[in-house]
Structure 1
Amino acid sequence: MLSPEQQAAKERGISLYKQEKNAERELRIAAEAGDAEAQFYLAQQLRQLELNKALDSKESVKWFVASANQGNLLSLYQLSHNVKLCVVASVCPKGEKSWDEWHQEFKKTLMEKFASNDLQQLGELNDWVAESDVVGEWFHLQDELRYAKNHRIEDTREWLVNSANQGSFNSLLRLALDDGDKLCAIVEDCPKGDKTQREWKLEFEKIAREKIASGDMEAAYLLYVGNSDFNMLITSAEGGYPFAQYQLAESYSAGDGFFWWFGQRRKEINKWYKRAAENGYPRAMIAYAASIYEDNGDLSISRYWLEKSAKVGDSNGIGLLAREYASNPNYYGFPFDMVKAYGLTLFLAGLNK
């Protein structure tokens, strides 16, 4: 944190820089105190002097790096777009990153900013690049911003590998299902911390079985997802995992599993929809209500579970209940009531904002 004197020097320096005056002395005070924004503006000031041949040193890179290492987007942008750096990491001087490494860091930071809804620096970067004299630079940035906005940091392999190595079971599953770095798999020379898909899958299955042995039924469901073992779906459902119970009912409804007669299949479908509904899974509540209707069953049961899904805040349940009240006749025998239908529709609109 800057002292009042250092903060004042920083503000004076940035003001002088924007007036195209020499601000090196003021900016250096705050930069040497560790302020990332001041480090960026000092680097910019020094770079301009270097480009104008007023300075021979490459001190600007030092300050860009110091600022970028604190996550400053403007410095990351300069290092990954405009500053001349070594291109191939293997030939860079010891301790220095290549242009490509900085570019990957820049893209990752953009995704992190969007993921955390931290839009201030994104706006500053956009405005700053818009003032650039380089033809097409701002348009290129728009492409990078669109990419970062539409791709989650959680989807990058680097993030998944790091997360899996810290014990994230869901990340392990995604790596077990992803063919990932094909070159790594072929030559069996993976980046540090990474593994081939087969190795990730073996580790995932080992940990999953350990979790199942200790009673973790979500792990049984994820093992079903990971290796398509239908018995694991049954194990998870019988162990009380609501989503597995719903999925088992859906699978039976789609024709999976063997039954001697159709009535037995329908009985199992309703059984698992009901169990998942009783365990609080809203989609199962809606599905169970519909299944009772399809079997010409007791419609009071259908009404109960549709209302229950709406009460727990499920948007599909609210929409279907509004439709029931607004229709005459309707599927489940609800009384015609436009006031309730309108109220539910307004509530649903508020949820979707």
Structure 2
Amino acid sequence: MMKIRKIGEAWIYFLLLTACISANAAIPIEKKKAKDTGIELYNQFKAISAVPYLRIAAEGGDDDAQYYLGEAIRKNKRYIDEEAQQAYQAAARQGNVYAMIRLTQVDSDLCTAMSNCPKSEKTPKEWLELAKSTASMGASQKNGESMYLMYELSGDKAWLKKSAENNFPLAQYLLATDYKEGSGFFLSPSGRADEVERWMKASAEGGYPRGMTHFAAVLYDRKDLEGFRKWTEKAAETGYAEGIFGYGYYLSGKYPEYGFPVDLVKSYALLSLLLELDGGGTAKDDAEYVLPKIKEKMTPLQIVEAEKMSSVWKASHPPLSFFPFKLSR
């Protein structure tokens, strides 16, 4: 009897332990899901809707979620309130340089004009020094993102170039854009154009959606229509709202000189995806303007096919995003 009881107790303990482990394993999964949903909504300019999800992940200690929670609240209220401040500070304590940078900017925040800025653990100057030392440490280890953050902190474009050279796609895009807008010294216009193309290509190949659309434009200017079409489609496949609108619109037969095949079903399917982007930006308005014109050319069966295709695309591709800069520019 004793042996049977011991076996029974051991089995009960095993079941309880298994249940506990399973419950603990589910917590990070739920918080990860909340974080992903929150950032997805934030990137669709739906900051108000993002806050509850980001709170869940932030409470679990995720520094990226804490930073985005601060950003979502700040954008909703247009100033840094107590909750946003706490979220930024929680992220900063974990070494999040983006949050540290936000905390250095409180003097220029609307809360200063309103005289209601929450009390901070450190002064803006102290946060700045901590941000610089943290980013500098990462930069010394050849981390491209840390080099980009050094550029944001210092304004020194040498850091932007170093970041680009160390394969940070955002820096490559910004460097190419900077050159295109006239920055830097080049012996000839063609030399400038070559550098713009070089860095925009690197950004596109690094997976940055803005880089993809701009590299497509570079290729169009060079009369490389095949390359233009390729990168236009690739940008759409990332979920980039601008890329989806461009690709979908071209498939409708608009601008036949670009060489896209006319595919009304796919055009309608892609453009209708943008109707859910009601948090801001012009994507939804643009789609609402062109969709009726495309629909006029379609049969009822084609519309049904397009609706099915839209659902399949949404399930098999990254979520829609405007890909806003992580540090608002």
Q: Report the TM range for the smaller structure's normalisation.
A: 0.5 to 0.7
Q: Would you say 1:170 and 2:98 are equivalent positions?
A: yes
C-alpha separation in 2, matches of 1:338 and 1:113: 33
Match of 1:116 among 40, 47, 52: 52
Q: Percent identity?
A: 32
Q: 1:337–1:213: structure 2 CA closer, same or farther, 3 Å change rule?
A: same
Give 1:334 shift: 0.9
C-alpha separation in 1, matches of 2:270 and 2:194: 33
Give 1:162 shift: 4.3
Aligned match of 2:243: 317
Output the TM-score relative to the length of structure 2: 0.55
C-alpha separation in 1, matches of 2:134 and 2:86: 21
Q: 1:316–1:246: structure 2 CA closer, same or farther, 3 Å change rule?
A: same
Match of 1:340 among 253, 266, 269: 266
Q: Would you say 1:193 and 2:129 are equivalent positions?
A: no
CA contact 2:97–2:149 (8 Å) conserved in 1: no
C-alpha separation in 1, matches of 2:255 and 2:143: 45
C-alpha separation in 2, matches of 1:315 and 1:235: 29
Letter in 2 for 1:172: M
Q: 1:148–1:352: structure 2 CA closer, same or farther, 3 Å change rule?
A: closer
The one of the two structures with greater contact order (alpha-carbon pairs below 8 A, sep at least 6) is 2
Q: 1:326–1:154: structure 2 CA closer, same or farther, 3 Å change rule?
A: farther
CA contact 1:161–1:194 (8 Å) conserved in 2: no
Letter in 2 for 1:319: F
* Structure 1 residues 222-262: Cα deviation after superposition (integer angstroms, max 9, x where no partner): 11111111000000010000111111111111111111110
* Structure 1 residues 139-188: Cα deviation after superposition (integer angstroms, max 9, x where no partner): xxxxxxx999635768743443443234322111122344269xx9xxxx
Moved over 4 A (4+): 111-114, 146-149, 151-155, 350-353
Letter in 1 for 2:251: Y
Structure 1, gaps ≥5 residues long: 1-110, 119-145, 185-189
Q: Would you say 1:272 and 2:199 are equivalent positions?
A: yes
Matches within 5 A, 1:129-278: 150=77, 156-179=84-107, 193-195=121-123, 197-278=124-205
Aligned match of 2:322: none
Q: 1:165–1:313: structure 2 CA closer, same or farther, 3 Å change rule?
A: closer
Output the TM-score relative to the length of structure 1: 0.52
CA contact 2:74–2:81 (8 Å) conserved in 1: no
Considering fraction of residues, name the structure with more helix.
2
For residue 334 of structure 1, give the secondary structure of its aligned residue in structure 2. Answer: coil
Aligned match of 1:326: 252
Q: 1:308–1:192: structure 2 CA closer, same or farther, 3 Å change rule?
A: closer
Larger Rg, first or second structure (1 or 2)? 1
RMSD of the TM alignment (CA)?
3.5
